[in-house]
Structure 1
Amino acid sequence: MKLMWQYTMRHKKLLLLNFLCVFGFIVIELGLPTLLGRMIDSGLETGNMENVKKIGWYMVIITVIGITLHIMLSYVGAKLNNRIIVDLRDDMFENIQQFSHGEYEQIGVSSLITRVTNDAYQVMLFLGQVLRTGFMTPMMFIASITIVIKRSPLLARYVFLALPFLTIGIIIIAKYSKPLSERQQTELDNINGIMRENLSGLRVIRAFVNEKFEEKRFDQVNAAFTDTSTKLFKLVAAAQPAFFFLFNLVMVLIIWMGAKYIDMGQLEVGNLIATIEYVFHALFSFMLFTVIFMMYPRAAVSANRIQEVLELSSTITDKPDGVKETRTNGVVSFNQVTFAYPGTVESPVIRDVSFEVNPGETIAFIGSTGSGKSTLIQLIPRFYDVTKGSIQIDGVDVRDYNLHALRQKIGYIPQKAILFEGSIRDNLLMGKPDATEEDLDYALEIAQATEFVASKPKGLEEHLSEGGSNFSGGQKQRLAIARAIIRRPAIYIFDDSFSALDYQTDAKLREQLKKETKQSTVMIVAQRISSIMDADKIVVLNEGEVVGLGTHQELLDHCDIYRDIAFSQLSKEELAHE
C-alpha cells in the first residue's frame, strides 16, 4: 500500500479533486433520503401538496448535481489511476534499463515482463476501485450510521448486529486469498517463460517434431495456473452472495421492526423510509469496502513484486562525475582479472588474466567452448564487473568511468546479431543518431551490406520484423557490424560476429574493416583460426585461464592447445604454408 500511496501523492491536485467529488457525492446521496422523509411526513401525510412539489424540485436539482459529481468522480479517478500506472511502468522500465546481466538473471526476463504488464494491471484495477469507492465507502458508512443512530436508535442496533459477521468474512477472505494470489502470479511467470521460450525456439521445436512435448509442458503450467485461479475466484464468488444474504436479512429485520414501531406510534413513516435508505447506504458501503479488501491481497502481491524491481539496484553502478575524456584513445589493459558470476565466487570462470592491446592492434581470443572468451570481453563495457583485478582503458579503471562515456568508446557486436523491429535505417542510427546518408552508405559498404540492402524494395526503409526474423543470419550480422562501424569507436569488440558469413564475404569484410580500424583497437572472439591468423596477438583460453599469448606462428611453436585447434581446422598445405 505504501508504494501505491507514494505514486498517488505525485498527483495531489487530482487527488484533492477526487476527494472533493467524493465528499460532494456523499452529501447529495445522504441528502436525498432526508428530503424524501420530510416530503412524506410534512407533505403527503398532511396533504400539503405545495410542500411536496417544493421538496420534489429540490430533489430533482440535487439529483442532477449528484449525477454530475458522479461523472466527474469517474473521470478524475480514471485520469489519476492512469497517470499513476504510467509513472509506475515508466519507473520500472527506467530501472530495468540500468540492470546488469546479474539482475536480469536474478529475477528472470519473463518475470520482469509479467511485473511491468500484469502486475501493474492488477495494481491499476485495485487503485481504480479505491479511487471510485475506497474514499467514499468509509465516509458514507460513518455518515449513514451516525444519521441512523440519531434519527432511529432503536433500528440502529440491527445494523451493528451484522457488522461482526461482515468483519469476520473479510478477515477470512484476506487470509486465504493472499497465498493464492502469490502462487497465481508465480505461475503466470511460468506461463510467460514457456511462451517466450517456445516462440523464440519455434523452428527448433518444429525441426525436432517436438510440438506435442511442448504442448504437454505448457498444459502442465497452464493447468496449475487455472487451478489456483479457480480457487481464488471461488473464494471471491462465495463471499458476495453471503454478504448479500446478510445484507437482505438486516433490511427485512429493519422493515419488520420499523412497521411495529410505527404501529406503536414510536416512529413516523417518512422517518422509516429515510432510515431504510440510510441503512442501505451504510451496508452497501460496507459491502463495497469488502470488495476492496478482497482485491487488496492480489494487488499487494503485485505491488510487492513491482517494489522488488524498483528497489533492486544494479551491481554496475554509474559515476555521473566519472572520467569522460582521456589523453589516449583505445589502450586496453587486463591486470590479473578474475571473474565469477554472482553466487559462484568459489568457482570463477575467468582466472588471473593479464594482457595489453594498443590502438592499431588486433587481439583475438580463441579456445574451446566454455573457456570464457565471451565472458572476458563482456567485462570491458561493464556488462559485468570483475571480481578481482582491474580492467583499464586508456589508463583508467573502467569502474571509474562515466558509464555512458565508457560505452561510447566501444563498438560491440554480440554473438547473436540483435536487431530491433523498425527499418534498417532505424537500426543503423542506434550506433549514431545524427549519422548522415554518407555515414550510412560508408558503414554498409565496409560491412558488405550495400548490395543486399539495395536489393530490398524500400532500401534503408525496409522493415525488419521483431528480432530481424525476416532477414538471414548473415544479413543480420552484417547490419550489426555496420551499426558498430557507423559510430567510429576507439575499440571494436567482435564476439564471434563473422560466424554466419561465407568465406568470400568474410574475407572482403575483413579487408575493408582493416582499413577502417587502423587507428582503433580491435578485439575478436573467434572459433575459426583462419579468421584470426593475422591478428597481432592471440590469447588462448582454457577453462578461464590464459594458456597461450602470442602471434599465430609463436603459438603453433609453443602452445599445445592452440596447435591442436590448428591441426583440427587447417589443412596440411595451410600449416606447411605457415
Structure 2
Amino acid sequence: MAYIWKYVKSYKGLLILAILGNLGFVLVTLGLPTMLARMIDEGILVDNADIIWRYFFFMVGLALIGLVGRLLTIYTSSKIVNSMTMEMRNDAYRKMHQLSHHEFQELGVPSLTTRISSDAFILLQFTDMIIRQGFTAPMMIIVSVIMIIRTSIRLGLTILPLAPIIFITVLLIARITLPISERQQNFLDRINRVLRESITGLRVIRAFNREDFQENRFAKANNAYRQESTTLFRWMAVTPALFSIIVNLAIIAIIWFGSGYIENQTMQVGTIVAFIEYVFHALFSLMLFANIFMIYPRAQVSAERLEEVLETPISVQEKPETEQQNDSEEYGTLEFRDVDFAYPDADKPVLQHINFKTKPGDTIAFIGSTGSGKSTIVKLIPRFYDVSKGQILVDGIDVRDYGLDKLRQKIGYTPQKALLFTGDIDENLRFGKFDASKEDLEHATMISQAQEFIHRLENHYQTHLAEGGNNLSGGQKQRLSIARSIIGGREIYIFDDSFSALDYKTDAALRKALKDETKDATTVIVAQRVGTIMHADQIIVLDEGHVAAKGTHEELLKNSPLYYEIAASQLSEEELQQ
C-alpha cells in the first residue's frame, strides 16, 4: 500500500536486513528436513551412529543460524513498524493542529482519536505481518516447491490441487470482510463518541438521573461493534480451519501413495518424512501469504481513514513566508471592514456588514442575545475561521497576510470555556509564555485576581490540576485562564464571556487592574452582563449577526431600545439613571 510504503521506505537498510534474516530462516527451515531424511536413511535405518551424530550437529548448527535469522527479522521488523507508527501518529497529530474548527466538526473528535490510536495500531500489526510473513512466505513457497519437485514430482502432483483451494478461498473472504471492517471502525468511532460524552457530561447525567439512558446508549454502540467484530472474526477463522483440513488430507495422501513407493523401493522412509515437511511448509506458507490478503481490508480501511486526515483541505490557509507582510507602523489597532461570515455548511451568513475600528488602549465590547454572533466575531480575529467577505486588520494589515504564529503571538485569547490542562498551575500559566519568570506569574495572577487563592493552596504554583482543572471552581479556572492570556504582553486581548463565573466584586477588581495592564493594547470583551462592559470605550450591540447599534453605555441607553431592554433587565432604576 502506497500510504504504508511512504513511511517504510525511509528504513531501506533495515528492510534489507529483514529480508536477509527471512532468507536465512527459510533456507535453514527447509534444510533441516533434508538432513533429517539423510539421518534416517543413512544413519538410523542402518544403525550408523557416526552418521547420526554428524547430522545431529549439522542440524543444531543450522537451527542456531535460523534462530539468528529469525531474531534479526524480529528486531528489524519491530524497529521499522514502531518508528513508522510513531511517524504516522505525529503526522496526523501535526495535521490535526492545522485544521480549522469546521474541519474538526467534519471529522469528529472521537473519530480523530480512533484514527490516531486504533487505526495506526492496525497498520502497525499489518506491516509487521508483511515483514515477518509477507517476505518469508513467498520464499518458503518457492524453495518448498523446488524441494518437492526434486524429491518426487509424481507425489507432488497428488497434492497440487489443494493449493489453489486455500488461496481462492482466502481472496473471497478478503472481499467479503472489506465492508465489515469499514463498519467495525465506524462503530468504534461511535463507542468513543458515547464514552467521551458520558465522561465529560457526567455531572449533567447524574443531575438528571440519566445513567440508565447513557448505559443503554453505550450498550447499543458496544453491541453493534461486537456483532460486526464477531462476523469479521468468524470469516477470518475459516482459513485456519480450512488449512488444518487440507494439511491433514495432504499428509494422508502422501502416506497412502508414499507407502506404495517405499514398498516398491523407489523411495525411502526418510525421504517421505522430508517430503511431508516440504508439503507442510509449502501449504502453511501459502496460508500465511493468503492470510495477509485477508487482513488487508482492515489495513486498507485504517490507511484510508488516516490518509483522509492528512489530505483534508485546510480552509484557513497560510501564505508562504515570502508573501507575508508583517511590518506595520501601527500597533495594537483592530479593524473590521464590511465583514461577512458564513459557516461552510450554513444556508446564510451568521455575520453581515460588521464595521468598527479601535486604537491602542481602547476597550470594545460586544453584547446581544444568544446566537447573535458575538463569539463568532472574536474567533475570526486569530483566524480560527476566515471571513467570507471583507477584511479584518490587525496593526493595519489583513490577518490573512500574517503568518499564523506571528498573528497569534499578538493576541491574548481567553475562551468562553476555561480549559486547563493536566499538570501544575505554573505549567498551565506558562502556556502563554514558556519562559515566563516567577515574577511574570505573580504579576499576571495579581491582575486576574487569582493570586489570593493560589497562595492559599498548599503547593501554591506547583499545585497539580486534574484533567480540565476539575479540582478548581469555575471562577478559579476562569481567573487562571485570564492570567494565562495576560502573560507575555499582547497587542490585542480577547475575553470571550470570560468573566461569567466571577462575582461582581472580583469582576470589578479584575477589570480595574486589567485597564492599567492593557493601556497600550486593544481589549475585546464579549459579555452577557451589562455591568462588565458599561465602562467600555465602544459597545457594539448585535442582533442576528447585524450591528444593531454602537456607542458608549450612556449613548446606547438613549439611542438603542435593544440595549436599553438588556440593561433594564440587569440594572436597577437608579443605575440606569446614572
Give me the whole-angstrom Cα distance separating, in 1, the residues matched to 2:539 and 2:185: 49
Partners in 2 of 1:248 and 1:304 — Cα distance?
39
Displacement of 1:45 in angstroms is: 4.5
Distance across 1 between alignment mates of 2:292 and 2:124: 13
Q: Using the TM superposition, give the Cα deviation of residue 198 of structure 1 relative to its aligned residue in structure 2, in angstroms.
A: 0.9
After superposition, what is the alpha-carbon deviation per residue over 1:101-122, rounded to whole angstroms, capped at 9, x for unaligned? Answer: 1110110001000001111111
2: distance between equivalents of 1:121 and 1:217?
26
Match of 2:526 in 1: 525
Q: Equivalent residue for 2:8?
A: 8
Alignment of 1:100-499 (within 5 A): 100-321=100-321, 322-344=324-346, 346-499=347-500
Instruction: Check the 8 A contact 1:173/1:236 in 2, yes or no.
Output: yes
Q: 1:38: Cα distance to partner?
A: 2.5
SS at match of 1:384: coil
Query: Could you report, residue by residue, the CA deviation over 1:193-232 in whole angstroms, capped at 9, with x for unpaired residues?
Result: 0110111010011111111111111111111111111111
Moved more, 217-226 or 396-405: 217-226
8 A contact 1:330–1:358 mirrored in 2: yes
Aligned partner letter, 1:534: H
8 Å CA contact 1:141–1:285 kept in 2: the answer is yes
Of 319-328 and 490-499, more deviation after overlay is shown by: 319-328
Q: Residue 569 of structure 1 corresponds to which residue in structure 2? A: 570
> Is the contact made by 1:319 and 1:403 (CA closer than 8 Å) also made in structure 2?
no
Structure 2: how far apart are the matches of 1:571 and 1:417?
Answer: 30
Give, in whole Å, the separation in 1 of the partners of 2:47 and 2:577.
Answer: 122
In structure 2, the residue corresponding to 1:569 is in which secondary structure? coil
**TM-score, normalised with respect to structure 1:** 0.97
Q: Is the 8 A contact 2:166 2:239 kept in 1?
A: no
Q: Which amino acid aligns with 1:260?
A: G
How far off is 1:313 after superposition? Answer: 3.2
Tell me which residue corresponds to 1:556: 557
The answer on whether the counterparts of 1:43 and 1:52 sit within 8 Å (CA) in structure 2 is: yes
After alignment, is 527-536 or 315-324 more displaced? 315-324
TM-score (norm 2): 0.97
Q: Is the 8 A contact 2:159 2:253 kept in 1?
A: no
Asked whether the 8 Å contact 1:428–1:479 carries over to 2, the reply is: yes
Q: What is the Cα deviation at residue 467 of structure 1? A: 0.5
> How many angstroms apart in 1 are the aligned matches of 2:159 and 2:480?
73
Distance in 2 separating the partners of 1:327 and 1:434: 28
Give the AA of the match of 1:556. L
Deviation digits for residues 109-163 of structure 1 (CA, Å, limit 9, x no counterpart): 0100000111111111212222221110111011111221222101111332112
- The residue type equivalent to 1:343 in the other structure is D
Query: How many aligned positions are there?
Result: 576
Instruction: Name the aligned partner's letter for residue 335 of structure 1.
Output: R
Aligned residue for 2:187, secondary structure, equals helix
The 8 Å contact of residues 243 and 287 in structure 2, kept in 1 or not, is answered as yes
Q: How far apart, CA to CA, are the structure 2 residues paired with 1:475 and 1:61?
A: 71
Q: CA separation in 2, counterparts of 1:45 and 1:198?
A: 72
Which amino acid in the other structure matches residue 479 of structure 2?
R
Distance 1:273 1:204 in 2: 70
In 2: Cα distance, 1:159 partner to 1:290 partner: 18
Match in the other structure for 1:87: 87
Distance of 2:316 and 2:422 partners within structure 1: 28
The match for 1:507 is 508
Contact 2:171 2:290 in 1 (8 A): no
Inter-partner Cα distance in structure 2 for 1:318 and 1:565: 40
Q: Could you give the per-residue CA deviations for residues 532-577 of structure 1, whole angstroms, max 9, x where no partner exists?
A: 1111111111111111111112222222211211121111111111
Report the alpha carbon displacement of residue 357 of structure 1 after superposing the two structures with TM.
1.0
- Aligned-pair CA distance for 1:239: 2.9
Q: Counterparts of 2:202 and 2:118 in 1: how far apart (Å)?
A: 24
Shift of 1:293: 2.2
RMSD, matched Cα: 1.3
Q: Write the deviation string for residues 407-455 of structure 1: whole angstroms up to 9, x where unpaired.
A: 0000000000011000000001110111111111000100101110001
2:21·2:68 contact (CA, 8 Å) conserved in 1? no
Q: Which moved more, 1:78-87 or 1:452-461?
A: 78-87
Task: Tell which deviates more after alignment, 38-47 or 194-203.
Answer: 38-47
CA distance in 2: counterparts of 1:522 and 1:458, whole angstroms: 33
| Stretch deviating more after TM superposition (426-435 or 558-567) | 558-567
Structure 1, residues 477-497: CA drift from partner, whole Å, max 9, x if none?
A: 000110011121000000000
SS in structure 2 opposite 1:275? helix
Q: Deviations over 1:50-97 (max 9, x none)?
A: 333222221111111112222222222222211111111111111111
- The answer to whether the aligner puts 1:535 opposite 2:536 as a matched pair is yes
Deviation at 1:7, TM superposition (A): 1.1
The CA deviation at 1:48 is 4.2
Distance 1:105 1:50, change over 3 A: same
**Deviations 1:500-536 (CA, angstroms, capped at 9, x unpaired):** 0000000100110001010000000010111111111
Checking the alignment, whether the CA contact within 8 Å between 2:239 and 2:287 is kept in structure 1 is no
> Unmatched 5+ residue regions in structure 2?
none
Unaligned runs of 5+ in 1: none
Checking the alignment, whether the CA contact within 8 Å between 2:326 and 2:401 is kept in structure 1 is no
Q: What secondary structure sits across from 2:160 in the alignment?
A: helix
